[in-house]
Amino acid sequence: MRYFIQLSYDGTNYHGWQIQQNAHSVQEEVEKALAVISREKIEVVGAGRTDTGVHAAFYIAHFDSAHEGLADENMLFKLNCLLPFDIAVQKIFQVRSDAHARFDATYREYKYYFSRTKDPFTHAYAEKESRKLNVVRMNEAAKMLLEVDDFTSFSKLGSDVKTNNCTVTKAFWEEKGDQLIFTIRADRFLRNMVRAIVGTLLEVGLGKMTFDELKAVIDKKDRSSAGASVAAKGLFLVDIGYPDLM
């Protein structure tokens, strides 16, 4: 049987979702807990990577098991008891045998949070940004991303992917109280892509980069031409779309 698992995690103490040698990952913790409950070796396939220190308010993975009944409330309770405090499972449900957490996802959505004031309660989950920013211009610049195909300029160097093409369908800034929030949705994301985009749009908001210069950065397909990446702690994966499964 194939199951989907919906979870959330604080990425502070992890080197991202994916299992790596000599590094602590979310995937590793989930696989260990599921193996204890099912009493079998479990391999969990996630919807995609998240970078070191990045959080997920909404994440989907799938796994196969010979056991029925793993989607009930009792199993959910046991799983959450086994998982560390910074990983929580909200739902487990059975899906068709060919459903895939990564390949069936039609979009991913991220939010990046800035705090405009010193706040001890958001310090770990939002980057401090007290400089004067032109948010109107930043939103105009964000709209340009909807027309871009190749995001090489915002991809971490040395990434092992077949293509750097992505389709962005949503990108905007909003101010809520003392928070400044950037939202972006795309069919796929490259390593470090969101953080590099945010850092580059900040350059526009600070008046250090014009719209023409931003277009030139995109056209160069050169990571060194774009702005510096912002810190991981402010980035959250908040939604993944599965129109035929959820």
Q: How far apart are CA 60 and CA 73, in angstroms?
A: 18
Q: How far apart are CA 6 and CA 233, in angstroms?
A: 21
Q: How far apart are CA 236 and CA 242, in angstroms?
A: 19
- Specify the pairing of strand 179-186 against strand 168-176: antiparallel
Which residues form the catalytic set? 51
Q: How far apart are CA 109 and CA 183, in angstroms?
A: 7
DSSP 154-221: GS-TT---S--B--EEEEEEEEETTEEEEEEEES---TTHHHHHHHHHHHHHTTSS-HHHHHHHHHHT
- Token pair, residue 98, equals 């060919």
